[in-house]
Chain A
Amino acid sequence: MSEVIRIKKGLDINLKGKAKEVFSKAQMPDVFAVRPDDFHGIKPKTIVKEGDLVKVGSVLFYDKANPDLKVVSPASGEVIAVNRGERRKVLDIRIKSDGNFESEPFEKCKPSSMSQEQVKKAILDAGFFAFIKQRPYDVIANPNDAPKAVFISGFDTAPLAPNYDFIMVGREEEFQLGVEALAKLSGAKVHVGINVDNASKLFKLTKGIELHEFQGPHPAGNVGVQIHHVDPINKGEVVWTVNAQDVAMIGKAFMTGVLSFSRSIVLAGSSVKNPCYCKMIYGASISNIVANNIEGDNVRYISGNPLTGTQISADGFLGAFDSQVTVIPEGDKNNEFLGWIMPRLKKFSVSRSYFSWLLGSSREYEIDTNVNGGERAFIMSGEYDKVFPMDIYPEFLVKAILARDIDKMEQLGIYEVAPEDFALCEFVCTSKIETQRIVREGLDFLRKELA
């Protein structure tokens, strides 16, 4: 193993409402929803309609640009709605579960004894490929690409994020098979980033991967940061990234011959009475796990972490790439008087014009969804640099994107970044600039222009 990569820039936001490491028994919900928007980069062509019966693994929609790329049902039962928005865009496909989770067939086999084509077909047919993302552009990977590497992050440093050491317990064999499948599928090296301070027993036991140890604050757990420090992406190169749980999910299918989209998630946040872990399935309604477990009535439900997650309703659904549900107070009724000049001792800020930097890093904060100010042009400088641990000038890149200057974007390293890498920039920004939205639009623009 190579030496430890120390990340100095970044920020750990110590939020209230961390989960205890116990699994609570959550009843599986009846309703599931799959949102095409979760699978960014896919142009969905829906092939189910209301009333269709589906199994776990039945195709719901596929990518118009690449019909092999399919997104499948996480549950068995009946399609009860295909909700559409403006211009008939599919918002979500709802499935009423019959509770049996009957699976489409999947051939139980060792990926190491299969050919690349066989593995690819198996993964595509099972709908697992939609869980492989690629850089550049941070979109669902193209099955026809040959990536130069596959990266898996073995820890999550985001606020209130699940502890991988805890949620991956007992999944050694599944993870090993998943890694083998990915190695065969991509024909490239599989890299796993782990945190030096975690035990990461499972990852250390896994064979056929290259381990990299990281140390430092968030976003050290972001796969983009890990790629940047291990094997940065240059123009024309492609790297695939997969969540560790999804690797085990792929492995489990090869091990058991049954498709299952279950994963462990954490329910956390300062508005949760008993923050805990539970087993869930992607697309599942969160209504059961949040019922009678929320304090206050004006709260925000987020699928994912508070920096990058998606706002959902109290009966909303777990996003395809999320293993976290966060509930924090809304900040739309604060009416804070002269807040900009008050000491605000209970509030968190990286700015030393407040006092949270003197109160120690172990202090936990309750942060609501208030933006705490109006949007302005860039004023303060160097703020982004402090939380952006890559050899990239984030502010200049954001400006190049705003100017839609393709050459500059390429030169400044847009191929290496994803919106999530800018989440902390957005958090600390004095001018309240929506950097994640800007980067997402920039990546989409570039992808369209260069297609």
Chain B
Amino acid sequence: MKALRNFLDKVKPSFEEGGKFHAFRSVFDGFETFLFVPNTTAKRGSHIHDCIDSKRAMSMVVIALIPALLFGMYNVGFQHYLVHGEEASFWAMFIFGFLAVLPKIVVSYVVGLGIEFVVAQWRGEEIQEGFLVSGMLIPLIVPVECPLWILAIATAFAVIFAKEVFGGTGYNIFNVALITRAFLFFAYPVKMSGDAVWVAKDALCGGIGSENALLDGVTGATPLGQVSTGAAEITNAIGSSMSPMDMIMGFYPGSIGETSVIAIGIGAIILLFTGIASWKTMLSVFAGGILTAMMFNSIGANEVMSLPWYEHILLGGFCFGAVFMATDPVTSPRTECGKYIYGFLIGFIAIVIRCLNPGYPEGMMLAILLMNLFAPLIDHCFVQANIKRRLKRANR
């Protein structure tokens, strides 16, 4: 460590104003603060500080995403071998999935962090950690067959227009990862929806994966996609019917990270245990979703409305959105009471979109984005109530 520190101290001057590599100051600074906690001390105000910092908070979310990521990789391989009717070992499936998902992670981070580095350099600021989380979320909420170049464009769009133009991490109105997905969804609908994109069908790198032909009856549609097109029974990729237990395990086609309720649950436990995510938001998203689904169950006018409430929660991106997206503190309300309303409405709107809009089998993304927009309004109401209380007190 000492040698590393000495090395950093030695090269530091060349990155400072007037140095040879001044154009890379933000990158150097980013790596230096990543390796060593900065030695800055409090000059005024409080002389002592809590040892939490935003790097810690962000990395907790990344850690919480790892179970969903690992399961997603495994599931990609599992689906691949399933549709080809080939038996494969656990490791064969995992390695296939790893190789299919890794390029997406690399593209997301390289594009997103590249833009962050440039902007930080341009503004003369420190690199902020926000994209560590977004960069991990993005690969998990796209279909496995999403082309990398499209992913790169969408990531660049989201980082620049959803975050940097507003001022960077902490100033964005919309969740960056969801804007990426929304951009993909509306700009390249063919690559983001339908039946063809959810299962990796071809072998990778010219030979890793199954060489067999596809089985007959392979649909590759997501369970919610099947329901919205009026399928009588929810099936997995090769047409066998699915029990609620299968839905919890997550062995069905879908966005890479969203399928396993167990993996997402582990992430939720990490987030709630560490207190990084608000339990208020998370709980009320589920409450809103469950109550709304129950309400539609009792109407039951179409296939989606009749889908049992627990399947609404277990399928699609509901859990993933509730745990990792709705709880983003920057785009959530800042008032504690507001979080209940915000969460409840996300759950409500997600199910409403699913049930009432035949064009969109999944409503979670749009529900969260819509409520991102309304979060300041919710805050405004609570802040105004506080202001009124104070005025009333003065006039008493």
Contacts and interface: CB of A to CB of B under 8 A. Distances in A.
Interface of A: 13, 15, 159, 232, 234-235, 300, 302, 306-309, 311, 326, 328, 330-341, 344, 347-354, 367-382, 385, 391-393, 395-396, 411-413, 419, 423, 426-432, 434-437
Contacts of B45: 308, 419, 423, 426, 434-437
A427 B50 contact: yes
Contact of B390 (A331, A367, A413, A428): A413
Given A308-B45, A331-B41, 10 more contacts: A234-B394, A340-B59, A352-B275, A353-B276, A369-B41, A371-B42, A374-B40, A377-B170, A380-B57, A393-B334
Interface string B1-39: 100110000000000000000000000000001111111
Contacts of B336: 382, 385
Contacts of B171: 377
B52 interface: yes
A235 B169 contact: no
Q: Which of A330, A374, A391 has the most chain B CB atoms closer than 10 A to its own CB?
A: A374
Interface in B348-396: 379, 382-383, 386-387, 389-391, 393-394
Contact of A374 (B33, B335, B387, B393): B33
B53 A340 contact: yes
Nearest to A372: B51
Contacts of A437: 44-45
A78 to B, nearest CB: 32
A367 B45 CA distance: 15
Contact of B50 (A232, A349, A411, A436): A349
A338 B35 contact: yes
Contacts of A432: 49, 53
A430 B54 contact: yes
A309 B43 CA distance: 11
13 contacts: A328-B48, A338-B35, A339-B36, A349-B51, A351-B275, A353-B60, A377-B167, A378-B330, A379-B54, A379-B57, A380-B329, A391-B386, A427-B50
A395 B59 CA distance: 24
A309 B168 CA distance: 33
Q: Which 3 A-B pairs have the closest CB atoms?
A: A373-B53, A377-B170, A234-B394
B123 interface: no
Interface string B320-342: 00000000011011111000000
A423 B59 contact: no
B38 A374 contact: yes
A66 B276 CA distance: 51
Contact of A393 (B46, B130, B170, B386): B386
Interface residues of B, number: 60
A311 B393 contact: no
A349 B52 contact: yes
A353 B275 contact: yes
A227 B184 CA distance: 55
A235 B394 CA distance: 7
Nearest to A435: B45
Nearest to B58: A379
Contacts of A434: 44-45
A6 to B, nearest CB: 19
Contacts of B55: 340-341, 373
A391 B40 contact: no
B284 to A, nearest CB: 14
A330 B35 CA distance: 20
B274 interface: yes
Given A340-B37, A340-B59, A370 B275 contact: no
Given A393-B383, A423-B45, A354 B39 contact: no
B33 to A, nearest CB: 6
B274 A370 contact: no
A333 B9 CA distance: 13
Contacts of B46: 306-308, 423, 426-427, 436
A306 B382 CA distance: 34
A348 B36 contact: no
Nearest to B333: A381
A336 B48 contact: no
Contact of A340 (B56, B130, B330, B333): B56
Contact of B52 (A13, A354, A375, A378): A354
Contacts of A428: 50, 52
A335 B47 contact: no
Nearest to B387: A411
A419 B389 CA distance: 23
Contacts of B37: 334-336, 339-340, 370, 372-373
A335 B274 contact: no
B128 interface: yes
Nearest to A434: B45
A339 B44 CA distance: 23
B332 A353 contact: no
B121 interface: no
Contacts of A336: 36-37
Contact of B49 (A335, A372, A391): A372
